[in-house]
């Protein structure tokens, strides 16, 4: 069974869209998205520097555009839809994944993520906050230290990686005295404490933007960041997308669900690399391809040819249409309950 995943904020790099825009029809597609949201995606994806594309209000739509563009290129090269058995995205990548699952179209996704990026940037400007990746160490030891400092485990990525979020002072204390047994604490170049209570004002703004969308139910098993559950109802999925900006990302549970559903191959959309790295450690034996440039399309097509599923047949264990199964939360929680814990070293929003 093939899984398609989309990366989150921090995966972008200057010029990462340049080779994709050389594909026939790509510039027109990106131009239409740019016009829809009033942001020159081609400029920011080809000419803008690192500081400009680090801006949350720019980075998030740019990443969704990159993911959708690479998915379009893969489908074009394949001569038709690539039959994935499950999809997922890390943080803002969840919006990309929702398009892959048929919940809404690319234009709606870009309008939603434009609102998301602006709202989160405004929330981050209220106070000096940030995030730091903690590499290594036992999860319980790391989370206990974060709780002691008043920090939130904003991203629990699996494979020995947790991202903490909170105030600048709290992060300074973490760096001065890291959790016992950890290898490194890396301060991330992000504007705020994403996926924490600091983002509550952004939820209110995003709720308004989401009202303009009439979601359909996903046609492919959609695995949610909240708890690793398979979500089969489009309205509930959209609600989760909105609330997730102020709640932890459980990518560890998403990978557990991919494994349980029978994943045998994984493709990470542009700008790929981060989620592929996590999967190689947490999903051993599952071949992976990261779509960094169009040169990677051939390998992705070969992988899809070996692992794609019959699009008419639900993946084994998939939730019934319109439902979320309680046992789709790998740790036994009932989906929809709060998660106490919380993205990848460079994938944070």
Q: Which residues are catalytic?
A: 91, 195
From the list 103, 105, 95, the residue with the least C-alpha distance to 72 is 105
CA distance 161 to 237: 26
Query: Which residues, 6+ apart, have CB-to-CB distance to 229 below 8 Å?
Result: 223, 257, 319, 324, 325, 328, 329, 335, 336
| Nearest by Cα to 321 from 188, 220, 199 | 220
Residues 6+ apart with CB under 8 A from 281: 158, 159, 160
- Largest Cα–Cα distance in the chain? 54
Q: What is the CA radius of gyration of the chain?
A: 19
Which DSSP string corresponds to 26-69? HHHHHHHHHHHHT--HHHHHHT--HHHHHSHHHHHHHHHHHHHH
Look at residues 344, 4, 310, 349 and name the one whose alpha carbon lies nearest to residue 160. 344
């Amino acid at each position: 069974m093939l899984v398609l995943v989309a990366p989150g904020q921090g995966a972008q790099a200057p010029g990462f869209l340049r080779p994709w825009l050389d594909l026939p029809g790509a510039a027109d597609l990106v131009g239409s998205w740019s016009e829809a949201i009033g942001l020159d995606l081609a400029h920011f994806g080809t000419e803008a520097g690192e500081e400009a594309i680090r801006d949350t209000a720019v980075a998030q739509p740019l990443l969704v555009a990159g993911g959708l563009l690479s998915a379009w290129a893969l489908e074009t090269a394949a001569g038709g839809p690539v039959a994935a058995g499950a999809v997922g995205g890390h943080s803002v990548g969840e919006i990309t994944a929702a398009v892959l699952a048929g919940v809404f179209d690319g234009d709606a996704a870009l309008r939603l993520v434009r609102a998301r990026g602006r709202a989160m940037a405004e929330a981050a400007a209220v106070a000096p906050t940030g995030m730091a990746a903690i590499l290594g160490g036992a999860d319980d030891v790391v989370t206990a230290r974060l709780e002691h400092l008043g920090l939130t485990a904003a991203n629990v990525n699996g494979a020995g990686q947790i991202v903490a979020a909170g105030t600048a002072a709290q992060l300074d204390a973490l760096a001065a005295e890291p959790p016992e047994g950890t290898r490194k604490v890396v301060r991330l170049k992000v504007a705020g404490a994403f996926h924490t209570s600091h983002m509550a004002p952004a939820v209110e703004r995003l709720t308004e933007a989401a009202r303009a969308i009439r979601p359909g139910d996903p046609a492919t098993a959609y695995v949610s960041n909240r708890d690793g559950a398979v979500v089969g109802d489009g309205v509930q999925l959209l609600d989760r997308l909105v609330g997730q900006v102020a709640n932890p990302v459980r990518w560890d549970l998403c990978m557990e669900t991919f494994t349980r559903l029978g994943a045998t191959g994984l493709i990470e959309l542009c700008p790929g690399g981060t989620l592929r790295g996590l999967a190689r450690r947490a999903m051993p034996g599952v071949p992976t391809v990261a779509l960094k440039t169009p040169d990677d399309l051939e390998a992705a097509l070969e992988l899809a040819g070996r692992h794609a599923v019959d699009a008419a047949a639900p993946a084994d264990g998939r939730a019934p249409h319109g439902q979320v199964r309680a046992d789709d939360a790998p740790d036994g929680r009932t989906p929809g309950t709060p998660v106490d814990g919380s993205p990848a070293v460079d994938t944070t929003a």
